Amino acid sequence: MDMSQRIQRQLSRTGRNPFDFRYIKTRTGLSEVPDAGPCVVLATPGMLQSGVSRQLLERWAPRPENGLIITGYSVEGTIAREINNSMEEIQALKGGKIPLRMMVSNISFSAHVDGAQNCAFIDEIRAPVVILVHGEENTMMRLRANLVDKYKGSNYELAVHAPRRGEAVELHFRGEKTARVLGGLASKVPADGDYVSGILVEKDFSYRLVNMDDLLEFTGIAPVVVEQQQLVPYTSSFELLQLHLEQMFGELPLTTETSNSGVANTLRVYDSVDVTHASWKTHVEIEWESNIMSDMAADSVVAVVLNIESCPASVKLTQGRGCGHSHHSTSGIDETVPAGDGPHSHSHAECTAVAPGLARTNDNHEIATKLALFLQQQFSRVEVADDGSSITVHLNDLSAVIDADSLDIQTESPMLRARVEPLVAQVSRALRPLSHRSVALPEPEPATPLASGPEPEHKGDAGADADDTDSSDDDQTEPPTSANTAASPGHE
């Protein structure tokens, strides 16, 4: 308890207890309260139900020279309330009746407000809901009726509840929430139509929107990056793996490392998933930082690798006739044929057909349905046309139409286009069938059996220089094998 400067100086100067009054004494029990001579006793509880106040009441009630002053509110059903109603005797705690001959008065020292003060408080804060929880039922119902009548017909909508004991009251609030923008996101005030993207953090019913870089400083939450690694069994060549991955994802960056064990090649898919093939290992290592898009890309890579291993046709159909590069046969032996003239000096893409095990349907409705599932994670209302030709994305009053085949976006809102385009561009690369990136196998020229003996001299071949043929020691040819001759569907 804080004391005034005067009392503190008095206490330090005299050492006397400032609460040791001359005419006011503290008593620890009824035995210290005298029955002879005048005195005033302040006792609790005020309802006189038990305790020191009840014991003094029973002790002094029979004598008319004594008096009782009730200073607070008395709840109905208590001794104090019954004495206020002019009762002639009281029930003793130990049984029996005690006559009430002492003088009884009531002086309100209550700190509770009255009806007028309640109304003034409600007018000041303009509360939409008022719940009356303290007081007698009749009094509370009268106050409730007065409040309803007072604000009835005004522009101030007030709901007043006076629940009984144990009765539940349901309150309904609007779902609008306000978030504080902190850190780097708050450096620029967004204009009308702009949107702010960040991490929304809820704590103690408050919301904060921050950048990933500011997460620890403003929220105390340390960001964690989950790095995933998956080993997929694979025994075929790296060239075959690269071929099929680039058919799915387009041209991929390649990193090569050489060690005493062998060569390790790493392809990076969507700048997020690393696919590593080591020549001395019997599996492919797939590593990525976990997020929605990287997880989806990694799943696609796993599917491609498993299809290469499980479908022999994917190996067989990639072995073109007369190609100047190596193929891995189903027997596990790399068979290389020399580069020759004419139609056989070509790249992988020119001599490759899509393996049946890797091809997927080119049905627009299926593509639109799958793309719509991803869009629904970002937008609450996404509609697919009955024929699967288009997808419509709605955001408040704005809308965008996506063509399921070309993935062109038609919208009048630049903001909505900026949100839809990156998502569609990334998702569509995993959903598009392989036929969108592959070239059909060309019709083969009539195969000429290779005979043992000296190889004919090349003439006019742009791919075989005269200086190169002089220094080449590839003067021997292999006997014809099934792997050296490209097979056309239907002519195998």
Catalytic residues: 112
Task: Name the residue type at position 141.
Answer: M
Q: Which of 175, 153, 164 is nearest to 131 (CA)?
A: 164
Are 313 and 356 spatial neighbours (Cβ–Cβ below 8 Å)? yes
Whether residue 27 contacts residue 50, with contact meaning beta carbons closer than 8 Å, is answered with no
Whole-number Å distance between alpha carbons of 284 and 260 = 19
Can you tell me the distance from the alpha carbon of 80 to that of 61, in angstroms, rounded to the nearest whole number?
13
The answer to whether 277 and 299 are in contact (CB under 8 A) is no
DSSP per residue, 444-479: PPPP----SSPPPPP-S-TTS-HHHHHH------PP
Give φ, ψ of 230 to 5 degrees: -135, 135
Contact, 194 vs 415, CB < 8 A? yes
Of 80, 44, 35, nearest to 62 (Cα)? 35
For the chain, the residue count is 492
Q: Confirm if 207 and 175 have CB atoms less than 8 A apart.
A: no
| Phi and psi angles of residue 469, each rounded to the nearest 5 degrees, phi first | -70, -30
Contact 415, 424 (CB under 8 A): no
Q: Which of 346, 357, 330, 344 is nearest to 482 (CA)?
A: 330
Helix (H, G, I), strand (E, B) or coil at 430: helix
Nearest to 381 by CA among 370, 395, 398, 371: 395
Helical (H) or strand (E) element with 266: strand 263-269
Amino acid 44 reads T
Distance in angstroms (rounded) separating the CA atoms of residues 409 and 375: 13
Amino acid at 316: K
The rounded distance, in Å, linking the Cα atoms of 48 and 74 is 9
Nearby residues of 122 by Cβ (< 8 Å), 6 or more positions away: 130, 147, 158
Nearest to 155 by CA among 132, 128, 125: 128
